[in-house]
């Protein structure tokens, strides 16, 4: 497919090799305005704004993914397949499942369990286990350590359902040692594998569904800076 695509109006070469992808377009704008030098808007389609600028001399892009695996599936596939992007770092929010996690903890998804049927399109003779790029994960862990941040690594649960009628579903994932629930990582990891590219999800705990604690939408938009800075410093080293 030639560029622009139906969802991205950027021209060839407008995106850097590494793209940071928050779910929220306003978080993408905050990162571009706060951290990137000479940030340029390269995609305004559907309000899913994408920007390219420089961070510590390295060209980096940031663009929202929207909510859910269908949205992440579209944008990550188009960036990998049509815009020459090699690495995507999801920087999102997640709900704590493991009981010792608290608000504002930062977690990285070594793998991503899911209730999604996203992998069925590949017609595999079994169940696929979506995993992060080890190189990106190790770089993020080392970067966080240098910044004095405890980056907690483990399994995420990428759910297609935000409002789940099964009241005990998170407890079952908790029993299996899953860290947190979110809605995009499994699709991102599968697209990276399909396209021969690399991906990593770094998430900030924004709420604790099992206790009822939560952050405000304003806090989610602009105050989860530890996650952003780990991702930016990781991107510089890729």
Q: State CA 86 to chain mean position distance.
A: 14
Cβ(74)–Cβ(7) under 8 Å? yes
Q: What's the CA gap between 147 and 161, in Å, rounded?
A: 34
Q: What's the CA gap between 75 and 86, in Å, rounded?
A: 13
Residue 182 has which token pair?
A: 């979110």
Q: What's the CA gap between 31 and 63, in Å, rounded?
A: 10
The residues assigned a catalytic role are 207
Q: How far is CA 149 from CA 35, 75, 140, 202, 229, in A?
A: 19, 30, 11, 13, 10
Q: What's the CA gap between 138 and 135, in Å, rounded?
A: 5
CB atoms within 10 A of CB 20: 30
């Amino acid at each position: 497919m030639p560029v622009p695509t139906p969802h991205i109006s950027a021209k060839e070469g407008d995106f850097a090799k590494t793209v940071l992808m928050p779910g929220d377009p306003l978080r993408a704008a905050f990162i571009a305005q706060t951290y990137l030098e000479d940030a340029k808007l390269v995609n305004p389609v559907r309000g899913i704004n994408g920007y390219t600028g420089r961070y510590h001399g390295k060209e980096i892009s940031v663009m929202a993914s929207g909510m859910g695996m269908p949205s992440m599936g579209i944008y990550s596939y188009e960036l990998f397949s049509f815009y020459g992007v090699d690495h995507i770092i999801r920087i999102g929010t997640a709900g704590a499942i493991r009981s010792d996690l608290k608000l504002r903890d930062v977690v990285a998804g070594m793998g991503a369990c899911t209730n999604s049927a996203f992998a069925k399109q590949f017609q595999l003779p079994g169940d696929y286990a979506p995993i992060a790029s080890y190189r990106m994960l190790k770089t993020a862990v080392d970067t966080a350590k240098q910044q004095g941040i405890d980056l907690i690594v483990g399994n995420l649960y990428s759910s297609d359902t935000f409002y789940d009628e099964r009241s005990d579903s998170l407890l079952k994932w908790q029993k299996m040692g899953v860290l947190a629930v979110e809605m995009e990582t499994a699709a991102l990891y599968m697209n990276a594998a399909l396209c021969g590219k690399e991906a990593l999800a770094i998430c900030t705990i924004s709420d604790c569904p099992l206790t009822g604690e939560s952050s405000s939408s304003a806090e989610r938009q602009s105050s989860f800076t530890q996650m952003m800075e780990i991702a930016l410093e990781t991107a510089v080293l890729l």
